[in-house]
Amino acid sequence: MTIAVGIIGVGVMGADHARTLVNHVPGARLRAVTDADGARARQVAAETGAETVAPDPMAVINDRSVDAVLIASPDQTHRDLTLTCLAAGKPVLCEKPLAPTARECLEVLAAEVKGGRRLVQVGYMRHFDPAYMEMKAKLLSGELGRAVMLHNFHRNVSAPTWFDAKMAISNSAVHEIDISRWLLDTELTSVQVFKPKIAGMAENGAPVFLVFETAKGQIVNVEMFNNAAYGYDVRGELVCEKGTISLRSPIHSEVNTGLASTTFYPADWRPRFADAYRLQMQAWIKSLSDGKPVGASAWDGYVTSAVGEAGHQSLAEGRSVRIALVPKPGLYD
């Protein structure tokens, strides 16, 4: 059985997903692409061999020959497009976030619950990153005892001028919010956000530091620095009762010369998480054939956005904020 996929939005991420789908995913074919920028859609179709260029997202979703939809258009389009996919009964892999606000995510959740089956996967691809998977497997082995603290670092080279502290949380640190819940298999119950106060430091991309408590009593922190200058760098360390597990960036080569050794950082997230994006896509397509949902669900998408909003509130009010969630629908157990 071959799954015919339609991709909505083929900018940086959508074009990458299109290349991954055609080059690395057996059992799938790229049936259609669309983009608000028609020339961009035609260029990506020519490069990837997509069978058609659709005029708009509705034409992709309502195309009877499209079995499943991948949404990689901007965040503010995700809710409406995902709801349209659900109304059409089409499985959808929606890039993160599921929607910018928890309220919008709840609308998607309600529609999926009403339909009675899981059709939505959210593109929190770190669930498929080999380094995080090894970390989780080692924790689950029990060898190191229980998890006590989780440190996360997430650094980008530079941030656009409009990228403020709220975006650092809801656009970037959401990856750490998601992966911390997944690794520790628990919910985050409170958040407090701190910002260094360095005179004259640029506001855009300035660091935010988030401290969470979990329902299991653990402490989680996230350093999010979108203007870190030196490279794209994601690291972490899980501290357990009998040892720690460090999350390292994969290193492919090291230059040794002049009494020094040098390793290299990627300029952005795509090389670092290439394996995760590929494994996520393969797992999504397989899940559509065998009917077993994988990856981040709409519930995970909702919780992540709700935690991000609590982070915004902490940032505005300068205090710790309790994270309130709606009861989890049975569909997501």
Ligand X SMILES: NC(=O)c1ccc[n+]([C@@H]2O[C@H](COP(=O)([O-])OP(=O)(O)OC[C@H]3O[C@@H](n4cnc5c(N)ncnc54)[C@H](O)[C@@H]3O)[C@@H](O)[C@H]2O)c1
> Least distance in Å: CB of 271 to ligand X?
12
Chain positions 264 to 283 lying near ligand X, rule: CB under 6 A, are 269
Would you count residue 100 as binding ligand X (CB under 6 A)?
no
Would you count residue 95 as binding ligand X (CB under 6 A)?
yes
Would you count residue 72 as binding ligand X (CB under 6 A)?
yes
CA–CA separation, 164 and 248 (whole Å): 27
β-sheet bridge partners, residue 155: 225, 233
Would you count residue 123 as binding ligand X (CB under 6 A)?
yes
> Least distance in Å: CB of 299 to ligand X?
18
List CB contacts of 46: < 8 A, sequence separation 6 or more: none
Find the part of the chain contacting ligand X (CB under 6 A) among 9-17, 137-145, 234-242, 313-321: 9-17
Question: Residue type for 319, please?
Answer: R
Would you count residue 11 as binding ligand X (CB under 6 A)?
yes
Tell me which of 33, 105, 122, 125 binds ligand X, using CB under 6 A: 125
> What are the C-alpha distances in Å from 84 to residues 53, 71, 88, 172, 311?
19, 11, 6, 26, 29
Would you count residue 74 as binding ligand X (CB under 6 A)?
yes
β-sheet bridge partners, residue 235: 153
Taking CB under 6 A as the rule, which mask of x and - marks residues 12-41 in contact with ligand X? xxx-------------------xxxx--x-
Find the part of the chain contacting ligand X (CB under 6 A) among 47-55, 71-79, 132-140, 146-154: 71-79
List CB contacts of 18: < 8 A, sequence separation 6 or more: 7, 10, 30, 33, 44, 47, 48, 50
The 10 Å Cβ neighbour count of residue 295 is: 20
> Least distance in Å: CB of 137 to ligand X?
22
Q: Residue count at the site for ligand X (CB under 6 A)? A: 23
Instruction: Look at phi and psi of residue 35 and say left if phi exceeds 0, alpha if psi is from -120 to 50, else beta.
Output: beta
Would you count residue 57 as binding ligand X (CB under 6 A)?
yes
> Least distance in Å: CB of 147 to ligand X?
24
CB 214 within 8 A of CB 186: yes
Alpha helices in the chain (DSSP H): 12-24, 38-48, 57-61, 78-87, 102-115, 130-141, 165-167, 174-184, 269-272, 274-290, 298-317
> Least distance in Å: CB of 57 to ligand X?
5
Q: Footprint of ligand X on this chain (CB under 6 A)? A: 8-14, 34-37, 40, 57, 72-75, 77, 95-96, 123, 125, 269
